Every structure is written in C-alpha cells, then in structure tokens.
Structure 1
Amino acid sequence: MRRLNRKKAFKVVKELDAFPKVPDSYQVKSNSGATVSLLTFALIAVLVISEFNYYLGVTYKYDYDVDRNIESDLVFNIDVVVAMKCVYLGADLLDLSGTTHTSSEEQGFKSEETFFEMTAAQREWLRNRKELLARHEEWRSLKDEQIDNYRLIHTAMPQRSSVDVPSNRQPDACRIFGKMFIKKIAGNFHITAGKAIAHPRGHAHMSAMVPRQEYNFSHRIDHLSFGNAAVGTLNPLDGEMKVAVDRNQMYQYFLQIVPTSFSFAGGQAYAANQYSVTRRERIIDHSGGSHGVPGIFMKYDMSALTVSITQDHQPFGSFVVRICGIIGGIFATTGMLHGFIGFLFDVIFCRKKGVAGSMSPRPARASQSYVETESSSLTTDMRIGGGNSVGLSTTEH
C-alpha cells in the first residue's frame, strides 16, 4: 500500500515538471543552428565578463538638498600672477555685508615679486592642465569617470626654484597668494591698479598714483578654489592664462559655488566646494561707451543647493539577477530570431521552387495508341465442387 502511494506521489510530482525532456530521436541539428549557438555563446561570454567588471567596480549616487549650513565660513584660496609690479597693484575682497579683506599678511593675502615668464616645469604643468580641462569638457556627463580619474591629481603649480631665477633681470610681475575665511554670501575679489584705501561710502584704489604706461593686466591663475581640497574635484580656473592686448583691459569672472560632499565606501568623507565660471573681457573706452575700471574682477555667489556624492558597490544579489537576465534573454531572443529567419527562408525557398516547377514543360506521350480505361469490372466466380472446376469471366466497358 505504501509503495502504491509512493508511486502516485512520484507521478504527481512528475506531472509538475516544467522542463520536459525531448528525446534525442526528435531533435534535428543543423549547421545554421550550430552557427547561431556559437555566436550566442560568444555574446554571452562578452556580456558576462563586462557585467563582472562592472560588479567589481563602484557606483556613485548623487543626492541634492537645500544648503542649511549658511552660518559657517568658507575658505577662499587664491594664487595668481599679474604682469605688474606689486607696488602698483592692489587686491582686496568685498562681500555684500560690507566686509573688506585687503592684501596684507595679517588678513591672509600675501604678495611677492616674481617673473611672469614661466619655467620649463611650469609650462609642462600648464600644458597638462589644459589637456585635462579639455578632457573634462568631454567627460562632463561621465561623473563617475571624473571622480575616479581625478583622485590623485595635484592642482598646485610647481614653484620657481632659486636656480630658475634670472640673475640679470628684475622681477616684472607680482604674485598674490594665500587663503582667507569669508562668509557664505556673494562677494567680489578684484585686482586693480593702486593700493586700496578706506572710504566712508565703500572703498577706493589710488589708481591715479600709477602711471598709465605701467598698466598690464596680463595674468595667470595658478590656483583658485573654495574650501579644502578634495578628491574628485577639478577647479576650472586652475591654469587660466590671459595676455592683455590693451593697457585698459578688463577681465571679469562670474563664479557660482556649489557645496559638495563626498562619501566613499571605505568610510572616508570629504567636503568641498565646486564652482562653475563664466568669462568676459573687454577694453575700457569711456569715449566709446565702455565704462569701468581696468583690472581683474572675480564675482562669486553661493548656490542654494548642495550635492552629496556617495560611493557604493553593487549588491551580489543584483549581480546574480543581471547575469541570469543576460543569459536567459540572449537564449530566448536568439532562439526566436533563428526560428523566424528559418521560417522566412523556408517560405521564400519553397515559393521559388514552386514557381520553377510550374514553369517546367510537361513530358510528351509515349505513343498514340495509349488507351485510358475509364472503368473495369472483374467478376470471378470460383466454384469448388467435386470436380475442382474454376470459372473466370471478365467484362469490360
């Protein structure tokens, strides 16, 4: 009784088999099927390897939120070289609250005499920086590539060593560098002719004390950033170089600062401030309607949004699901395509064969004495008696 119940249970389970086996005698193998199979296996191998490499890598998640940390200060880092002597230049920073920071060592900005001509190492750095910025423009939409490739990039230009200082020349440029804590509000950092002086209605520069022939606002921005340095960021003004074509040249840079935080899988976290820039330059000509003050002006403003970038790995379960989807999807798709192409081939081939057969001539008759029998009947009467006689009669119509 138990064996009978067990056989019934096995039979029920067998009926639930969703993968019935087809006997080998019913399977037909063809050259086209073998070709499709090889192509399918090759495609699966390529996609599985690509998916495995993606699983070993990392992914980045981008979140946007309103910046609520508006009370904290912001570090402003600057390193710029202007083709004028320091005695003729004045650099200061003025924000919307009326706070003014001048280029004095107590305030954070320093200035020193230098040469505008670059050394071989500085020219190499500038060339690499421009190449990197051009690549950044191509990778603008590939944010993950940006973080991975900018991880170990140094943004500071190599300084001039004592060996590179010309002995027979006097310095012809001024280097203004340093950092300063500023408020997270809009402001304006500018470099123009004449030292800055206090004024009841704002501030002013003693540009009247500078001879006009000394004006030359050709400049090179070695570094300009906001906040601490962090991986994955590239400052768009690093390596910026402009050569003035007129003594009354005015350069304007409009900067939009976006607070950004990075969180990596290893537990490391960084906070930085990325910025975008819009450039504008023109020649000051009051008689022509172009008013202003010659110099270098950098106007910045804070964005109301913050960007949070989180590094993460793909879960193993998601990796398995994607692999199963690749294998099953390719098998199903190639099977359907192979069947559909075979069906079209059979239809076209059979149609052509039928047309060719209908156009072939009919064979001629063998002789004119061909007789077609419409009907015939055969009557056989077999009688078996004592004499074993057999009678046969045939009637044709």
Structure 2
Amino acid sequence: MAFRSPLRRFDFFQKTVEDARIKTASGGLITLLSSGIILIVILLEWIQYRKVVVVPEIVVNPSHGERMEINFNVTFPKIPCQLLGVDVLDISGEFQQDVQHSVSKTRLSPDGEVISVDDLQPNSPENEDDPLNSTPEEQKCGDCYGAAAFSSSETPGCCNTCNAVREAYGRANWAIGDVDAFKQCQEENYKENYESQKVEGCNLAGQLFVNRMAGNFHIAPGRSSQKGMHHVHDTNDFSREKDLHDMSHIIHELSFGPPLDPSIATKNPLDNMVKKINSPDYRYEYFIKCVSHQFVFLKSNMETIDTNRYAVTEHERPIHGGREEKVPSHINVRGGVPGVWFHIDISPMRVIHRQFRGNTLGGFLTNVLSLLGGCVTLATFIDRGYYESKKMKKT
C-alpha cells in the first residue's frame, strides 16, 4: 500500500462514485449509434486487411536462351488440311518446317462440321504407317526417285509414303509434277483423296516451342523449303483450285506461355478474331510485340507463373495473281505467298506482378485502435454537449 500511494498522483483516469453518475436516454442512444459505427468501421478495416492487391514492377528480363511456348487455334473454312502447313523461322536461322508433332489438323466439311482429326504423334502406337514402329523385319525402304539424299533424317535414303517423296522433292527444290508417277502416291490414292477433300476447311491447333527471339511462324498453303536466305512455298496445288479457296480465317486463340486463370488474365488481343476475304491471293500479317510477365503469388504454396502478354498491329494485302475485281482500289498489289503470318518481336523488359495484403497486421491494429479512440471521444463530446444544453434550458 505504501508503494501504491505515490502512483495516485499520475492517474489521469479519475473515477467517480456510482451515486454521482447520471444516465440519460440521449446518452444511451449515442452509445448505441457509436457502437454500430465502430463495428462497421472495424469490419471495413478487416476487409481491407484481407484484400489482396497486385503491385506491378518493371525490370530488365534476366532470362537468356529460354524457349517460348506458343498456343494457337486457327480455322480456315475454305482451305483443306492437306494444303496447309505451319512453319517457324527466327533470326538465329532456326527453321521448323511443316510442324506436325505438336499440331493437330481437323478436317471440316463445307458446313463447318468435323470430319476427322489428324493428331497422331511420331512413334505413337496408332501411327501404323510410321516405319519407326515396325520391327526390323517389317521395315522397308521406298524409292525416293532421285531425291534420296534429301529424304527424312529418321529414315535416311528411304521414302515409304507419298508425303515422304513430296518432302524429299521439296528439300531438293525439284518440281513434283504428276504425283501418279510415284508408286507410293498411287498406292495411297493421293489424287482421289485430294479431289474428295478440296472443298473442305481445316482447323489447326496446337503448340509451338520456339527460341525467345524475334522471328515468325506462319500458316500457308504449299510445301515450304529454304533456298539460301529465302523461304519459299510450292503453291501449285493451291493455285490449281483458286476458285474453291480463299484466305478467310478465324483465330480462336493465340497466346504465349502457359494459360492463366481468368481472374488474373485479360483477353488476348487476337482471340476470336474473324477475317473474311473472297480472294485466294491474299496475305494477312500480324506484328506482335511480346512482353514477359511474371506472377508472384501471396501464398507460398502457389508456384510463380512465367508467361507473356502481347500487343498487335494488323496488316493485310493482296499479292500478285489476285483477282483484281475483288481487291479494294486503295490497296497496292505486291508479291509474296498467301497465308497468315505472325511476326514476333520480343521486348527486353519483364513485368512482375506481386501480390500483397491490402494492409499489414500492425497497420490493421493501429487503425482499429485509433478509430476506437476517436469514436469514443467524439461520442463523449456530443453527449456532454447535448446534456449541458438541456441543463441550461432548464435553468
């Protein structure tokens, strides 16, 4: 008791006796209102504390020598699958010709209905015609008709299918002429199949894995090949049936990198893009600026996602040989190969999206305590003022 007595001088929280306290109806109403306000404010502060905000920052992209994934899904309503191929080129000189191992081709009827899907992977059990799936006793070596040196590396010097012969001739830059001159094409009824499919459409979908550098990938008719520094397509088959074909297309999807959850992703600029034209000799070009995006999540159990977003500029034009009555007068006619080209330019910057809480725990507690003190003090002033004003009226 002797120790406590000097501390009384520092007590700012002076107490009153119970008999000296006066309770009023107005004070009770103010207490209830201020309590409700305090609860609402605390709830709002809790929501703000639990809220996750994304703060972007830009840094120089530190990645070197990475591969980039391209996801695409494009439909050509008036070009059959047998005429279309997907090629990839970049500034390093890498050339991926007629990519098939990760691309599926869906044959479409003139009404847009699915006929069949050609998505056999190399060496898969379903691909019975692949010589690599045969036992050594079953393997055969078909004639390449002078182009054995240019045959596929999987079966050097052998052309066991009509496509293998055509590929060998394409690599040799030789004209194919009449395909019935090749036994493989006769056995596969290549001409009959072509005639039955020439009024069909085609959907191409899949993934491409490319170097993270400037380049392009394109979907164009005809067998492609490299002649020195030039990339060329043999469009003879396509040109023979020009009245049946045009370069109209629908881009259902085009994205770079792994897909993102819709809650954090925005729509890609070329998704659901529709282009219609009545000319087969037409070229569409999309110039894409690709920027690396990294998403760092608040929860430690969620992996960081590295993907890409892009902006695009479109350009379209007819080429030599186009039917002039179907070409707008304001567009200049120039040369080239008909098709759809996607030119990719890579930004050296990376955008990092980091998730943070809307507030820290310390900030949440500080705000709650200050709001409590402020509300109680304000309510005390209001109650005291109202009480004193009523007291003065009575006197």
Please classify the TM superposition score into its range, dividing by the shorter chain length: 0.5 to 0.7
1:41 aligns with one of 23, 35, 41? 35
Aligned partner of 2:201 in structure 1 is: 173
| Aligned residue number for residue 310 of structure 2 | 276
CA distance in 2, matches of 1:279, 1:341: 68
User: SS state of the match for residue 40, structure 1?
Assistant: helix
Residue from 278, 288, 304 that aligns with 2:330: 288
TM-score by length of 2: 0.59
Aligned-residue sequence identity (percent) comes to 19
The equivalent of 1:16 in structure 2 is 10
5+ unaligned residues in a row in structure 2: which ranges? Answer: 114-195, 319-326
Looking at structure 2, the residues matched to 178 and 102 of structure 1 have their Cα atoms a distance apart, in angstroms, of 15
The answer to whether the aligner puts 1:307 opposite 2:357 as a matched pair is no
8 Å CA contact 1:111, 1:175 repeated in 2: yes
Q: Which amino acid aligns with 1:96?
A: I
**1:23–1:276 Cα change, 3 Å:** farther
Q: Which amino acid aligns with 1:303?
A: S
* Matched AA of 2:344: Y
Map 1:299-378 to 2 at 5 A: 299-311=343-355, 315-332=360-377, 338=382
Q: Which piece of structure 1 moves more, 278-287 or 94-103? A: 278-287
Partner residue of 1:236?
268
What is the letter of the counterpart of residue 220 of structure 1?
I
2:248 is aligned with 1:218: yes
1:275 deviation in Å? 0.7
* Letter of the 1:190 counterpart: H
**Is 1:50 equivalent to 2:44 in the alignment?**
yes
Larger Rg: 1
AA in 2 matched with 1:296: V
Q: Secondary structure of the equivalent of 1:269?
A: coil
Assess if the C-alpha contact under 8 Å between 2:68 and 2:256 holds in 1. Answer: yes
SS in 1 for 2:202: strand
Q: Is the 8 A contact 1:225 1:235 kept in 2?
A: no
Alpha-carbon distance in 1 for matches of 2:98, 2:367? 59
Higher relative contact order (CA 8 A, sep 6+): 2
Correspondence list, 1:98-113, <5 A: 98-105=93-100, 108-113=102-107
Q: For the Cα contact (< 8 Å) 1:188–1:297, is it kept in 2?
A: yes
Q: Does 1:190 align with 2:218?
A: yes
Deviation at 1:95, TM superposition (A): 1.9
AA at the equivalent of 2:310: S
2:80 is the counterpart of 1:85 = yes
How many residues of Structure 1 are paired with residues of Structure 2 in the alignment? 292
Consecutive unaligned residues of structure 1, counting only runs of 5 or more, are: 120-167, 351-397
Q: Deviations over 1:4-25 (max 9, x none)?
A: xx2xx53442222233346778
Cα RMSD, aligned residues only = 4.2
Contact (CA 8 Å) 1:79, 1:175: kept in 2 or not? yes
2:292 maps to 258
Match of 2:70 in 1: 76
TM-score using structure 1 length:
0.58
Q: Give the deviation of 1:315 after TM superposition.
A: 5.0
